[in-house]
């Protein structure tokens, strides 16, 4: 086209002509650019990567991508919140989706999970009710991306199977520090089937090599306002900077003959298999090493489906899993405009596929020949099914018998024991956070009846916990309840995870006339150990130190906040800018109040002394700059100092 700024008109000031096909085509395309967002998991972000096996799993499964340790399998991973719309914030209190598409030599395998290993409900028929309850209330469409409202907690109180999941959602697990520091779980019990047709039960785990870490609630709130793309930014920039997120794939395996040996039903999606009873076996590693080229074409059009399996992986009779097998396929038809969504490049297998499917919206495959049916003689009866020996998928031949019935198995009736197990497993700080989360959410509930029902319900989890919550929300304490469960599972506490300083962001507050050689030595040492120091100063651009040392300030206090960093290093103050010094003090004090490591050298030490910060846990002062970096790095590795006395 020779012109793309002006439409075709009858005279310079005349009407636009219908003849202008370029205008019509451009505008029509624009008018139809939007597709329906996902009902749940609408807010997502994704990256490409690869998966490599540590050890062959051939004794358990015939899946080819789990056989050969030399094979590298491409993957595409989409992280998401569950509740909010596409435009909501990243850091809201919510479960997170963790969906992985393996592009294997046998076709695509989708492991569609969450960062929480259990779910709210046991049977998929209740999923619409759950989602209706946690979405904004229908009369006024408020609140967005939040469960702190009446309808959600009314659902919880009247669907008590949700107790275990609620404990996780009220914990720090629901406000992760980063997608890179978040576990993933397949949630359901699946089956592995080996070459001999022998099956075992399996649960899937993703374990981040940076450990499992979280924000504090006040940080999550503030980030939702100043940086609603916080998790997106974190993942994107980590990959761009070569800090590739890594996760180990683990499996819990249970022999078929041991199906009924656990104290709960293994088909119940509201239950975990405690890792102390059935250890997680680490079998491979996934590395995310490439950002998407186009968000819509890849992340938004990615279609995950639990029914995308490969030979050697099969399903169980988990009623929530069975329902998802229908729903995930069904939802793509409206979102992506028909049955050919598997032909969109991001969803297309990397191996050829042959079938008799034809036509439909957005068909991309150009099939040749006149045969589109089976069986046939005109094309030599092709395409033809492959036998199991030829790699064809074969459903596990489980013996099934029984009367048709709409009921819940009695083995699904225990709703509270594992919720109590979770509570017992938490550290004192984590327990305090759970109590505060309940108090915030229920504090937003207007119905006294709903509040009373929730208090009575969670008294069955912990009487101690619920009495404190009741007091905080102005409700009478429960008079009965409690639990006989005394066991704990240390694996459930985030205090028992990997602690490393690698990729942690450090705010370096510095102004002109700083001690050039010493400060540069500290910053270089932090960077060399895998940390990410970023300079905050009076103005963006060069900051001049002694001996000709120059630093580049990416931020001022207008463009950065303490909550966007994992640690703070205060170097000096401004001789002329009192506003800068006040902002620096607020920056340091907020980091301190969020239990983060803070450090000072040079003039910064004087500020720490004046504010009674010295000697507190996680506070490092560099009187000897040679030893200071390592002391600070060691402090950053521990991330939070919950025993700190806030002043």
Residues 283 and 327 in one domain: yes
Is residue 162 assigned to a domain? no
Please identify, among 292, 319, 347, the residue that sits at the C-terminal boundary of a domain: 347
72 and 4, same structural domain? no
Range of 16's domain? 1-32
| Res 151: pLDDT | 98
Query: Is the separation of the CB atoms in 491 and 183 below 8 Å?
Result: no
Residue 163: its pLDDT value, please?
98
Same domain, 49 and 21: no
- Residue 506 included in any domain: yes
Measured between alpha carbons, how far apart are the two ends of the chain, in Å?
67
C-alpha span between 621 and 631 (Å, rounded) = 9
Active-site residues: which are they? 41, 114
Q: Is residue 363 part of a domain?
A: no
Q: What's the pLDDT score for residue 610?
A: 87
Identify whether residues 195 and 310 lie together within a single domain.
Answer: yes
The whole-number pLDDT of residue 647 equals 62
DSSP string, 399-467: -----------GGG---SHHHHHHHHTS-HHHHHHHHHHHHHHHHT---HHHHHHHHHHHTTT-HHHHH
Which residue among 312, 347, 382 closes a domain? 347
Note the pLDDT of residue 612.
86
Asked if residue 278 is part of any domain, the answer here is yes
CATH of the domain at 509: 3.40.50.880
Q: Are residues 230 and 90 in contact, defined by beta-carbon separation less than 8 angstroms?
A: yes
222 is a domain residue: yes
Q: Are 482 and 505 a contacting pair, CB within 8 Å?
A: no
Q: Quick one: pLDDT at residue 624?
A: 86
Distance of alpha carbon 199 from alpha carbon 135, whole angstroms: 39
Per-residue b or e along 488-502, where b marks 16 or more CB atoms closer than 10 Å to that residue's CB: bbeebbbeebeebbb
Query: Whose CA is closest to 455, among 428, 432, 427, 474?
Result: 474
Do residue 532 and residue 628 come from a single domain?
yes
Do 84 and 192 sit in the same domain of this protein?
A: yes
How far is it, in rounded angstroms, from Cα 206 to Cα 453?
Answer: 36
In a domain, 142, yes or no: no
Separation of alpha carbons 267 and 633, rounded Å: 45
Do 11 and 76 fall into the same domain?
A: no
Strand order in the sheet with 619-621: 541-544, 550-555, 532-536, 505-509, 567-570, 598-600, 619-621
Q: Are residues 189 and 253 in the same domain?
A: yes
Tell me the average confidence (pLDDT) per consecutive run of 10 residues in the chain, 647 residues long.
Answer: 93 95 94 95 98 98 98 98 97 98 98 98 97 97 97 98 98 98 98 97 98 98 97 98 98 97 96 97 98 98 97 97 95 93 96 93 93 94 91 93 93 97 98 98 98 98 98 96 96 98 98 95 97 97 97 97 98 92 95 97 91 92 91 97 86
Domain-ending residue, one of 326, 347, 368 = 347
Q: Do 236 and 179 share a structural domain?
A: yes
CA atoms within 13 A of residue 601's CA, in its CB half-sphere: 26
User: Quick one: CA torsion of 132, 135, 141, 143, rounded to 10 degrees?
Assistant: 150
Return the CATH number at 212.
2.40.180.10
Same domain (yes/no): 224, 276: yes
Asked if residue 299 and residue 242 are part of one domain, the reply reads yes
pLDDT of the residue at 338 = 93
Number of domains in the chain: 3
Q: Is residue 517, in this structure, part of any structural domain at all?
A: yes
Radius of gyration of the chain (CA): 28
Query: Looking at the domain assignment, is residue 84 inside a domain?
Result: yes
Q: Collapsing DSSP states into helix, strand and coil, what is residue 237? A: helix
**Are 2 and 116 in a shared domain?**
no
User: What share of residues in the chain are helix, strand, coil (percent, to 5)?
Assistant: 35, 20, 50
Decide: 145 and 89 in contact? Cβ < 8 Å: yes
């Amino acid at each position: 086209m020779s012109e793309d700024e002006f439409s075709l008109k009858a005279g310079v000031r005349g009407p636009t002509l219908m003849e202008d096909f370029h205008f019509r085509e451009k505008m029509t395309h624009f008018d139809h650019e939007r597709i329906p967002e996902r009902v749940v998991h609408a807010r997502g972000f994704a990256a490409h990567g690869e998966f490599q096996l540590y050890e062959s799993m051939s004794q358990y499964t015939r899946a080819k991508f789990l056989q050969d340790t030399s094979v590298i399998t491409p993957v595409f991973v989409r992280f998401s919140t569950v509740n909010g719309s596409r435009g909501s914030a990243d850091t809201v209190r919510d479960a997170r989706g963790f969906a992985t598409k393996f592009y294997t030599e046998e076709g695509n395998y989708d492991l569609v999970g969450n960062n929480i290993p259990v779910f709210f409900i046991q049977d998929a028929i209740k999923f619409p009710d759950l989602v209706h309850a946690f979405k904004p209330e229908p009369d006024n469409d408020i609140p967005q991306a939040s469960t702190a409202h009446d309808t959600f907690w009314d659902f919880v109180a009247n669907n008590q199977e949700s107790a275990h999941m609620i404990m996780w959602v009220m914990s720090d697990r629901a406000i992760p520090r980063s997608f890179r520091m978040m576990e993933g779980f397949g949630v359901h019990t699946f089956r592995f089937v080996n070459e001999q047709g022998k099956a075992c039960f399996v649960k899937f785990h993703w374990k981040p090599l940076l450990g499992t870490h979280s924000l504090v609630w006040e940080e999550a709130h503030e980030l939702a306002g100043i940086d609603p793309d916080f998790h997106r930014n974190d993942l994107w920039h980590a990959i761009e900077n070569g800090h590739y997120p890594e996760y180990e794939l683990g499996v819990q395996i249970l022999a078929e003959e041991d199906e009924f040996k656990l104290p709960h039903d293994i088909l119940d999606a509201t239950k975990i298999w405690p890792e102390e009873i059935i250890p997680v076996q680490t079998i491979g590693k996934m590395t995310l090493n490439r950002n998407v080229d186009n968000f819509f074409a890849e992340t938004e059009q990615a279609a995950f489906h639990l029914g995308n399996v490969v030979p050697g992986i099969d399903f169980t009779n988990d009623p929530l899993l069975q329902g998802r097998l229908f729903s995930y396929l069904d939802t793509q038809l409206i979102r992506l405009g028909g049955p050919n969504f598997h032909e969109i490049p991001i969803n297309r297998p990397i191996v050829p596929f042959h079938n008799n499917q034809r036509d439909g919206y957005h068909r991309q495959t150009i099939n040749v020949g006149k045969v589109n049916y089976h069986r046939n003689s005109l094309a030599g009866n092709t395409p033809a099914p492959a036998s199991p020996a030829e790699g064809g998928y074969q459903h596990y031949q489980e013996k099934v018998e029984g009367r048709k019935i709409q009921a819940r198995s009695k083995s699904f009736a225990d709703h509270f024991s594992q919720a109590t197990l979770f509570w017992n497993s938490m550290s004192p700080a984590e327990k305090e956070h759970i109590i505060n989360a309940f108090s915030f959410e229920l504090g937003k509930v207007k119905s006294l009846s709903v509040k009373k029902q929730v208090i009575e319900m969670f008294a069955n989890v912990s009487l101690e916990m619920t009495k404190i919550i009741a007091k905080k929300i102005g409700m009478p304490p429960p008079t009965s309840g409690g639990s006989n469960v005394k066991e704990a599972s240390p694996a459930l506490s985030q205090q028992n995870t990997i602690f490393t300083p690698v990729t942690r962001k450090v705010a370096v507050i510095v102004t002109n006339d700083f001690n050039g050689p010493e400060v540069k030595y500290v910053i270089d040492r932090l960077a060399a150990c895998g940390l990410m120091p970023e300079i905050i100063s009076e103005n963006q651009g060069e900051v001049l130190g002694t001996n000709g040392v120059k630093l580049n300030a990416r931020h001022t206090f207008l463009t950065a906040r303490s909550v966007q960093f994992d640690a703070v290093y205060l170097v000096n103050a401004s001789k002329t800018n009192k506003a800068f010094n006040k902002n620096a003090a607020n920056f340091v004090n907020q980091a301190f109040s969020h239990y983060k490591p803070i450090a000072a050298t040079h003039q910064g030490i004087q500020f720490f002394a004046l504010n009674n910060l010295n000697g507190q846990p996680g506070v490092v002062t560099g009187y000897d700059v040679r030893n200071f970096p390592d002391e600070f790095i060691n402090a950053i590795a521990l991330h939070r100092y919950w025993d700190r006395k806030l002043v």
